């Protein structure tokens, strides 16, 4: 460690800085400047501070081998803590690191990335982790991608990355820590040595002391680079110069010295070094297989004796990366191809085998292309779509232009790029494949157009996607399965964006007909869900027979991701239709499957939907936890559409819980993302819940702002999803005194209900109409409307909507001086909101109860007993009371007997008189 005091002070400062989350230290500079020496000192210092240090030293030959660096870096961490991960994540790690063979299915890159994230969390909880990466520029893309994913998501875990990068005078950091905040990354530039420091280096290494003139020349020629200075010193020491002499003959270039040093090696050593330079993981056994023991063993010994190769056996490495580069660069083209051909016969790992074959080929070669194809599939199976894409692209270049396989391989590369998250490159590859002469017509072209249409959807260009999909249909001809897939894509785009609604519904219905015609049960199973959704969305209603059909076809859905199962569409329909319990149960089963399979692309949606079900069942804390988990997962997996869905669900849950600030912010964030992604599904349901929150807070103007866009029929999309907000808009208009406008909105909603019946929307309309009738003085019509809304909400099992209707009923009864009926409604609303954990809503019910004078029941009865008493006093039978309060008739009778005993009463008539009796007059106030 000569001349590194300044760099080491910066290292110490980084290690001593206390900051949460992942941090990075980049030691940068030109090749040979001494980065690795500083890096090793930094790792030693981290170890002394209690860090568990794990390292990888990637080489140029390893840069294209998937997960080579990850295996080195996290192998021992997996050994220590891998068993603590969920089973899908353990499986993803084992397959990626080739500790286990895959199941034959494509591994989910997301599962692997999340596994690495969780592994770092679990490992760093036991002991702070220091990840050392020497020559980060050679870290393979697959390893870099998953590490980058994990590091940027560590919040407070003690994980540091100490990396070297061959770069000088640049603040650009290695990709692996490229996403960390600037304040979490420190840079240490390895500086050039002074003449005095070069003097000390040469003396300590070779016992060589040079005269000042020669020393200055060595320093100038080496530019203060330690590796270069050592090479010069090594050459001078080998000449046996007189150290007391004056001017010493110093070579003109360092490159000449390195090449001369390598040329001086025995033939066996030169053979060994060329093989080591070309292999990703050279071992003595591999070298013996390629060269034979009689060459490999003496060659290894001689190269180590000359300090060209390090003494390590697994893997065999050069003492400095520049030596490896020089050895490989010195090969002639024919020599290089012959070397790789020989290595292809001894390596077994498919990706490396294919690369050696590719490097051995002089031009297109069908056998090499096939090997690259196989290697791409293998890489994909390990969860490395980026490596698979690169191998598939290589396979395409190894295929002649007249071969139809060339376009297919380009398309495969595009698909893999898409899986790796590079939609832009995927588009380029698919467009290139479409330009190939072999795919100008027929199903092959239709398949390419279909895939490109999917990519354009991901790039939020739904217009171009629809055009490509329609063109694809023209080329699909008699390929029924492909035609169905194209139609489902077009139908899905329309459903998500609300555009070309009529065409979207037609595609969905025709897809179902064609799927049935195909006789392929898997194709029918994939089509049932979209078909059911379109039937419901276009007013045809819910066909329970589709659920039975989906259950029969369940064995044929193994290859579908959870979100594409028919049950997901059926659950959403059931929730909208008012079959709440069935929908919640179906979502729960889907969530179990997604968690079991590690289906991280589906989990954010399912968690968010399950959260609303938890809320309706009184588990508000679990509901909030699920929403938070869904949001973290959506961000972690960079799924923008999932982020839209979780934000919208967060807004709805927060509105129902009464958390106004969070609801409004989440809705605004969701709305911004909807504009960016064209995902409009659920938009008006979200804003309707936010508007209901504003109504509950007494701010009808804010409520109308939230749902005002729904009133503009001319601006509605073809799907007319604005209907979900019309009832709430009408309520706001009534409260603002705009009765005529409210009547017009309700007439619009009634018209939509005739075309598309929905119990939820019908109850919305009835609640708003009850307010309108009451404001116009028609008490009887108001009572009838609110009673019918209450009946619907009890039937569909939505206690929050029931509670809101009971609030309206209580308000109407109070204003009509029907104190007992008002108390019954408001107390049930209070108990309902308390059960749900909706505290601000419960506060509203409590405040309205406070406006009604006390009765004899206010002392001595439990809340449940009060609820029973007040319902009985309104004239309901025991059976009707039992149905309203979700209890048995026997339980109602028991409560009623206890009420009579407590209050000294003997009949329903006396109970009604006691509740309506001589209490204080109603203190009526606005609202």
What's the mean per-residue pLDDT of the chain? 88
Q: Over range 183-198, report the average pLDDT.
A: 92
Give the integer Cα–Cα distance in Å for 730 and 307.
85
Q: Is the model's pLDDT at 919 over the cut of 80?
A: no
Question: For position 178, what pLDDT does the model report?
Answer: 87
Tell me whether residue 424 is exposed, middle or buried, using C-beta atoms within 10 angstroms of its C-beta: 0 to 12, 13 to 18, 19 or more: exposed
Q: Over range 47-75, report the average pLDDT.
A: 92
For residue 888, name the pLDDT band (cuts at 50, 70, 90).
Answer: confident
Q: Over range 559-571, report the average pLDDT.
A: 91
- What are 917's two structure tokens? 């009796």
Question: For position 927, what pLDDT does the model report?
Answer: 33
Question: For position 867, what pLDDT does the model report?
Answer: 79
Q: Is the model's pLDDT at 823 over the cut of 50?
A: yes
Question: For position 250, what pLDDT does the model report?
Answer: 58
Q: Is the model's pLDDT at 172 over the cut of 70?
A: no
Tell me whether residue 559 is exposed, middle or buried, using C-beta atoms within 10 angstroms of its C-beta: 0 to 12, 13 to 18, 19 or more: exposed
Q: Please tell me what DSSP assigns to residue 318.
A: B
β partners of residue 131: 54, 161
Q: Over range 847-853, report the average pLDDT.
A: 82
Give the integer Cα–Cα distance in Å for 200 and 198.
5
The candidate with the shortest Cα–Cα distance to 145, out of 187, 178, 181, 97, is 178
Q: Is the model's pLDDT at 924 over the cut of 50?
A: no
Question: For position 651, what pLDDT does the model report?
Answer: 97
Cα 545 to Cα 528, 540, 548, 769, distances in angstroms: 11, 13, 5, 35
β partners of residue 164: 27
Q: Over range 374-382, report the average pLDDT.
A: 90
Give the residue, 243 or 426, on which the prediction is more confident.
426
- What are 683's two structure tokens? 């938009």
Q: Please tell me what DSSP assigns to residue 134.
A: S
Question: For position 752, what pLDDT does the model report?
Answer: 86
Question: For position 920, what pLDDT does the model report?
Answer: 35
640-689 pLDDT per residue, tens? 888 999 999 999 999 999 999 999 999 999 999 988 887 878 888 999 99
Question: For position 589, what pLDDT does the model report?
Answer: 94
Count Cβ atoms below 10 Å from residue 519 Cβ, excluding itself.
9
β partners of residue 132: 55, 162
Q: How far is CA 474 from the centre of its chain?
A: 35
For residue 925, name the pLDDT band (cuts at 50, 70, 90).
Answer: very low
Q: Over range 248-254, report the average pLDDT.
A: 62
Question: For position 267, what pLDDT does the model report?
Answer: 93
Question: For position 234, what pLDDT does the model report?
Answer: 87
Q: Over range 793-802, report the average pLDDT.
A: 91
Phi, psi of 432 (to 5 degrees): -65, -40
Query: Could you please report the per-residue DSSP string of 655-677?
Result: HHHT-HHHHHHHHHHHHHHHHHH
β partners of residue 160: 23, 130
**Packing angle, helices 839-850 and 819-836, rounded to 10:** 160
Q: Are 187 and 24 in contact (CB under 8 A)?
A: no
726-750 pLDDT per residue, tens? 999 999 999 999 999 999 999 999 9
CA dihedral 91, 96, 102, 108 (to 10 degrees): 70
Q: Is the model's pLDDT at 565 over the cut of 50?
A: yes
Give the integer Cα–Cα distance in Å for 841 and 693.
9
127-147 pLDDT per residue, tens? 999 999 999 999 999 999 999
Q: Are 188 and 10 in contact (CB under 8 A)?
A: yes
Q: Are strands 185-189 and 52-56 parallel, antiparallel or unpaired?
A: unpaired
Q: Are 663 and 696 in contact (CB under 8 A)?
A: no
Angular region, 34: left φ>0, alpha ψ -120 to 50, beta rest: left
For residue 816, name the pLDDT band (cuts at 50, 70, 90).
Answer: confident
592-639 pLDDT per residue, tens? 888 877 777 788 999 999 999 999 989 999 999 999 989 988 887 677
For residue 921, name the pLDDT band (cuts at 50, 70, 90).
Answer: very low
Q: What is the CA radius of gyration of the chain?
A: 36
287-326 pLDDT per residue, tens? 999 999 999 999 999 999 999 999 977 789 999 888 898 8
Q: Is the model's pLDDT at 922 over the cut of 50?
A: no
Give the integer Cα–Cα distance in Å for 533 and 526.
13
β partners of residue 185: 24
Q: Are 145 and 110 in contact (CB under 8 A)?
A: no
Q: Which residue's entry shows tokens 């996290």?
A: 74
β partners of residue 318: 309
Cα 799 to Cα 383, 404, 626, 691, 783, distances in angstroms: 45, 60, 20, 18, 20
């Amino acid at each position: 460690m000569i001349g590194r005091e300044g760099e080491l002070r910066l290292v110490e400062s980084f290690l001593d800085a206390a900051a949460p989350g992942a941090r990075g230290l980049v030691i940068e500079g030109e090749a040979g400047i001494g980065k690795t020496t500083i890096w090793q000192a930094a790792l030693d210092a981290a170890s002394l501070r209690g860090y568990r240090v794990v390292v990888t030293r990637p080489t140029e030959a390893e840069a294209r081998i998937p997960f080579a660096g990850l295996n080195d870096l996290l192998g021992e961490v997996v050994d220590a803590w891998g068993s603590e991960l969920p089973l899908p994540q353990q499986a993803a790690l084992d397959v990626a690191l080739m500790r286990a063979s895959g199941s034959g299915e494509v591994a989910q890159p997301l599962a692997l990335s999340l596994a690495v994230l969780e592994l770092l969390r679990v490992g760093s909880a036991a002991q702070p982790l220091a990840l050392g990466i020497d020559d980060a520029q050679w870290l393979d893309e697959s390893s870099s991608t998953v590490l980058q994913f994990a590091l940027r998501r560590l919040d407070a875990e003690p994980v540091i990355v100490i990396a070297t990068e061959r770069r000088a005078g640049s603040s650009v950091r290695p990709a692996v820590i490229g996403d960390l905040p600037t304040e979490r990354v420190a840079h240490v530039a390895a500086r050039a040595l002074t003449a005095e420091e070069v003097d000390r280096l040469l003396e300590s290494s070779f016992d060589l002391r040079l005269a000042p003139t020669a020393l200055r020349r060595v320093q100038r020629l080496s530019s203060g680079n330690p590796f270069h200075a050592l090479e010069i010193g090594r050459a001078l020491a080998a000449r046996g110069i007189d150290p007391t002499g004056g001017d010493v003959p110093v070579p003109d270039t360092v490159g000449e010295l390195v090449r001369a040093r390598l040329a001086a090696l025995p033939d066996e050593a030169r053979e060994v070094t060329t093989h080591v330079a070309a292999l990703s993981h050279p071992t003595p056994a591999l070298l013996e297989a390629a060269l034979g023991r009689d060459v490999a063993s003496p060659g290894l010994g001689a190269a180590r004796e000359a300090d060209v190769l390090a003494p390590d056996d697994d893997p065999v490495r050069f003492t400095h990366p520049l030596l490896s580069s020089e050895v490989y660069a010195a090969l002639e083209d024919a020599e290089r191809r012959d070397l790789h051909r020989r290595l292809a016969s001894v390596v077994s790992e498919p990706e490396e085998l294919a690369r050696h074959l590719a490097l051995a080929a002089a031009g297109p070669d069908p056998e090499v292309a096939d090997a690259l194809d196989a290697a791409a599939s293998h890489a994909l199976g390990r969860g490395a779509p980026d490596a698979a894409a690169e191998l598939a692209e290589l396979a395409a270049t190894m295929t002649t232009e007249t071969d139809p396989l060339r376009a297919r391989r380009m398309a495969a590369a595009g698909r893999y790029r898409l899986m790796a998250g590079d939609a832009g490159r995927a588009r380029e590859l698919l467009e290139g494949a479409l330009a190939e002469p072999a795919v100008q017509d027929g199903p092959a072209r239709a398949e390419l157009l279909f895939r490109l249409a999917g990519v354009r959807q991901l790039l939020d260009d739904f217009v171009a996607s629809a055009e490509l999909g329609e063109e694809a249909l023209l080329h699909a001809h008699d390929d029924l399965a492909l035609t169905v897939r194209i139609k489902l894509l077009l139908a899905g785009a329309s459903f998500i964006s609300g555009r070309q609604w009529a065409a979207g519904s037609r595609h969905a219905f025709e897809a179902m007909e064609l799927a049935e015609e195909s006789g392929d049960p898997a194709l029918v199973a994939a089509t049932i869900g979209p078909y059911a959704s379109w039937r419901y969305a276009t007013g045809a209603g819910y066909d329970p027979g589709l659920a039975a059909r989906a259950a029969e076809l369940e064995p044929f859905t193994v290859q579908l991701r959870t979100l594409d199962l028919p049950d997901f569409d059926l659950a959403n329909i059931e929730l909208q239709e008012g079959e709440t319990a069935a929908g919640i149960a179906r979502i729960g089963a889907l969530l179990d499957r997604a968690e079991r399979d590690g289906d991280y692309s589906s989990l954010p949606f399912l968690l968010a939907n399950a959260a609303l079900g938890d809320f309706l069942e009184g588990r508000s804390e679990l509901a909030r936890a699920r929403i938070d988990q869904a949001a973290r997962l959506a961000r972690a997996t960079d799924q923008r559409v999932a982020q839209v869905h979780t934000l919208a669900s967060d807004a709805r849950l927060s509105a129902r819980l009464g958390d106004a600030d969070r609801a409004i912010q989440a809705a605004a964030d969701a709305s911004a993302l909807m504009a960016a992604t064209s995902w409009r599904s659920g938009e008006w349901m979200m804003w309707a819940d936010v508007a209901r929150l504003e109504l509950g807070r007494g701010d009808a103007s804010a409520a109308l702002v939230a749902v005002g866009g729904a009133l503009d029929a001319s601006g509605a999309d073809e799907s007319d999803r604005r209907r979900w907000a019309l009832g709430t808009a009408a309520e706001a208009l009534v409260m603002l005194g705009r009765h005529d406008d409210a009547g017009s909105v309700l007439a619009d909603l009634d018209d939509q209900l005739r075309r598309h019946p929905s119990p939820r929307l019908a109850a919305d309309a009835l609640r708003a109409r009850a307010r309108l009738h009451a404001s116009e003085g028609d008490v009887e019509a108001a009572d009838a409307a609110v009673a019918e809304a209450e009946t619907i909400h009890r039937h569909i099992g939505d206690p929050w909507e029931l509670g809101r209707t009971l609030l309206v009923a209580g308000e109407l009864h109070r204003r009509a001086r029907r104190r007992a009926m008002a108390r019954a409604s408001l107390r049930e609303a209070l108990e309902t909101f308390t059960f749900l954990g909706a505290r601000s809503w419960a506060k509203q019910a409590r405040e309205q109860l406070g406006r009604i004078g006390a009765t004899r029941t206010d002392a001595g009865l439990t809340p449940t007993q009060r609820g029973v008493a007040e319902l009985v006093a309104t004239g309901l039978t025991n059976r009707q009371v039992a149905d309203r309060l979700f209890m048995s008739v026997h339980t109602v009778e028991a409560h009623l007997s206890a009420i009579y005993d407590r209050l000294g009463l003997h009949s329903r008539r006396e109970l009604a008189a006691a509740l309506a009796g001589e209490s204080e007059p109603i203190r009526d106030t606005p609202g």
